[in-house]
Amino acid sequence: MRLIMKKKIFISMLIISLTLCLASTSFGGNAPTVTFRDIRAMGMGGAGVATMEGFNALMYNPALLGKAGFGLELINVQANMSKDVFDLIDFIDDNEDALDNFTDLTLAEQEQLLKDMDEFDNNSIGAGVMPKVGLVMSNFAVGAYATGEVDFKIDKGIFDPKIFAYGHLDIVYSAGYGSKFPLGIISFLPNNLYYGVDLKIIRRSFANYKSSATDLEFDNVIDSLEENETNGYGLDFGLLYEMMPGKLTIGAKVNDFLSDIGDDKMPMIVNVGAAYKFSENLLFAADYNDFFMHKSASLFNRLYFGTEIHLGHILMARGGFAQGYPSIGAGLSFGALAFDGAIYGIEKSNNPGGDGDYNYAVRLKIGM
């Protein structure tokens, strides 16, 4: 029994060591990495390195494809929106004349308008859509997905209020493979150690836009996206070890081990995670992202954990903590038709509470 436990611990250390070796090659690159936040994962605190099977393995850990069967996602559309989006729209609509003629207001009127703007000042407020379509067949997955988001930030300024818009759109064509390590290659490897790779072909557009609070035109943001377009690729590698088959699983993913996009490359980021099944209906998962601290963010900014509970055959309830913010979610599955919802927070600064953005998200999925 001790020998078996030592072997399991050794394999766990081997996974970490391999990611260390890979990570030591290069952390360079300033281009943003492709980020797809699946609604199921975000509902349970954002954890997914050891849990997101099927087509989601391409985004979270391609080694999970080694456990995948058949899957087809014909329609999968996810949308998210900051909780303050409608408040911001109402504020601009209610104060359109005052914002248009800010310099003509009396000093008292200017002070009141700026005071009313405090709740929005320098806070990120955004919305996004994430569609995907894919096919999974016995260790292989192929498909396409996109992440499109626009973030707004109001700056009260010195002379008149300004609004900044940052938009990005990543369209990704991806293919991956995952399998168990062949026992004949290295004799001491167990038969429950998996590896996986996936290739991403990326078409990226981005925009930075500034205008007065009332002169913002979405068409200008779209035009800017079309003007700033580049192409590239990224190659990911993943490992997965069933330390206690059917119960405890640990995993690691090296994002963009090789990459190139435009005149730059994306930084190599290592995410590690674990999942424990208490029963067929109760799952706990935890991830630690950016293991080697490519970004100078705090511990809590890297930590994601949560749980999923199956309540009968069609209903799932989820909850957890992502970057220090609580999250909740739920799913309804009727075979080929599924609906999901989640509320979660995203920290856009280096420390929890610095620039938090709570989001509401919904998803419609049709597939098998």
What averages of pLDDT result for each successive group of 10 residues across the chain (368 residues)? Answer: 51 53 55 92 96 94 94 95 81 77 80 80 82 95 94 71 81 96 65 93 84 58 68 96 93 95 90 96 96 74 95 95 94 96 86 77 95
**E strand or H helix at 42:** helix 39-43
The distance in angstroms from the start CA to the end CA of the chain is 41
How far is C-alpha 78 from the geometric centre of its chain's CA atoms? 12
Identify whether the C-beta of residue 232 lies closer than 8 Å to the C-beta of residue 260: yes
Neighbours of 328 (CB within 10 A): 17
Question: Which 3 state secondary structure label does DSSP give 245?
Answer: coil
Nearest to 41 by CA among 344, 293, 249, 354: 344
